Amino acid sequence: MIAYFRMIKYFFIISILFLTIFFIRFYNFEKKIGNSIYPFVYVNKKDFGLKSKDEVFNYFKDENNKLKKITFVFLFNKTPVATFSGSQINLHYDSAGISQKVYLVGRSTNILMAYYQKISIMLWKKIFEFAVFPDFDQDQIKEIIFHLEEVYNKPAQNALFKFENGRVVSFREEKSGERILTKETISELEEKIKNLIYHKTNRISITIKSEIIEPEITLVKINNYGIKELIGQGQSDFSHSIFERIYNIKLAASKFNGVLILKDKVLSFNETVGDISSLTGYKPAYIIKDGKTILGDGGGVCQVSTTLFRAALNAGLEILERYPHAYRVSYYENDSLPGFDATVFAPTTDLKIKNNTGAAILIQTEVDESNNLLYFRLYGKKDDRVVEIEKPLIWDVVPPPPPKYQDDPNLKKGVIKQIDFPAWGAKVNFKYKVKFGNKKTEEKEIFSFYKPWQAVYLVGTAD
């Protein structure tokens, strides 16, 4: 029993001695560290042990000055297409954040963690290593790539075809497109910036990733389209149009000549015709905008959408989206009852038609200037559908309001200029039926509301 208590006594004394030595050593260790970084703390393989927080900050501040001078080169098809510096994209280390991170080793707000780190360093010389990477302004890089996309992105061009003597002949060969892969390009840039911590350099080249865009419609597939005959035609009379309006009609109609609508695909008029402005060759002619008839680029394009709409009706196609004009336009009643017009105005107002036949549909347009007629002819493969278009019902016919006269100080006294034209208002509705043999009948009512429209005159008041 005495020996047992003696053993406990010795153990207690040794423990007290050990703890005393440990605390003395720990005290001296902490005193030596003071306000410095703890030993065995590394950042990107560099030892910052016993350095001050300011020394860490200044080190990465100097590194940032080096990063600013790095030259970056974007290569596209092995050719330099853009050059910028680290300064331009704000390439930098977070000096303050890094110095704070290494300083907190052994000083965590979690007391247990802090003492674990202190003791690990003091007794076992445990290494705490951090890998930090430069950051950069993503928006600056995206802006650079955006400008490159504008220059080097090339959409694929589908083949265009012409129907002659009962067969399809080549009209324009297809062309492959190319698209810059922005995400992959930025990823390569990020990877090379990360590698700067291992391999320092003054110049970095990044190959811009891209992909080839294959056209959907090619000459090789011509025999698979199933185009055999005329399946529908639309026409409209543009008599009394001014020269500029006729010019725009011809230009817009040309965008559809040779276009192919694949089976089950949707044709958007706005997407097909593209931008309508003076920049794309259109001339100013009268358009309806914001409740007024005004001169605007592309006046007459609605003659083209109206004619396509009529062709689609006659072919028994599915009309997904169609809008009438705000008022009854005389051009569309030259050879038709009201209700058979379709207005367009990108991006809000479109004409969309679905090819619900069993084959592709080829569009061909013709402008007969001698007789002031525009034709849309749709070629494809006939099936057993029968189209019925009932005579439109017209009601609530309202005469135009009295003319409106507005003083205009820009015109001389005695001068009267008409800027808007009268039109009768009405509601129009017609039934559009497509019978598919004995299987089914699809019926749709196409409604139009036309406001009564007043004539507007400017009256000169200037001396």
Backbone angles phi, psi at 197, to 5 degrees: -75, -15
Distance separating alpha carbons of residues 58 and 50, to the nearest angstrom? 15
| DSSP letter assigned to residue 334 | S
| DSSP letter assigned to residue 175 | B
What are the sequence ranges of the domains in the chain? 32-154+177-223, 225-462
The pLDDT value recorded for residue 9 is 65
The pLDDT value recorded for residue 51 is 93
CB 346 within 8 A of CB 268: no
Q: What is the dihedral of CA 400, 405, 410, 416, to 10 degrees?
A: 80
The one-letter amino acid at 311: A
C-alpha 336: how far from its chain's center?
39
Cis ω before 347 (30° cut-off from 0): yes
Quick one: tokens of 60?
């990465």
- Which bin fits 288, alpha (ψ -120 to 50), beta or left (φ > 0)? beta
Burial of 141 (0-12, 13-18, 19+ CB in 10 A): buried
138-152 vs 182-194: helix crossing angle, rounded to 10: 140
The CA–CA distances, whole Å, from 115 to 2, 10, 123, 411 equal 39, 28, 12, 90
The one-letter amino acid at 61: K
Start-end of H helices in 223-342: 243-254, 269-273, 301-315
Distance separating alpha carbons of residues 92 and 133, to the nearest angstrom? 9
Residue appearing with tokens 């704070």: 100
pLDDT in tens, the chain (463 residues): 666 666 776 667 676 776 676 677 766 767 888 899 999 999 999 999 899 999 999 999 999 999 999 999 999 988 999 999 999 999 999 999 999 999 999 898 898 898 888 888 888 888 899 999 999 999 999 899 999 998 999 988 888 777 676 566 677 778 899 999 999 999 999 999 999 888 888 999 999 989 999 988 877 766 677 788 889 999 999 998 888 889 999 999 999 988 889 899 999 999 999 988 888 888 876 666 655 556 666 788 999 999 999 999 999 999 999 999 988 888 899 899 999 999 998 888 999 999 999 889 999 899 999 999 999 999 998 999 999 999 999 999 999 999 988 888 888 888 898 877 888 999 999 999 999 988 888 999 999 999 998 888 888 888 7
The whole-model pTM stands at 0.60
Angle at 41 between CA 36 and CA 46, to 5 degrees: 110
The pLDDT value recorded for residue 367 is 94
Distance separating alpha carbons of residues 25 and 12, to the nearest angstrom? 20
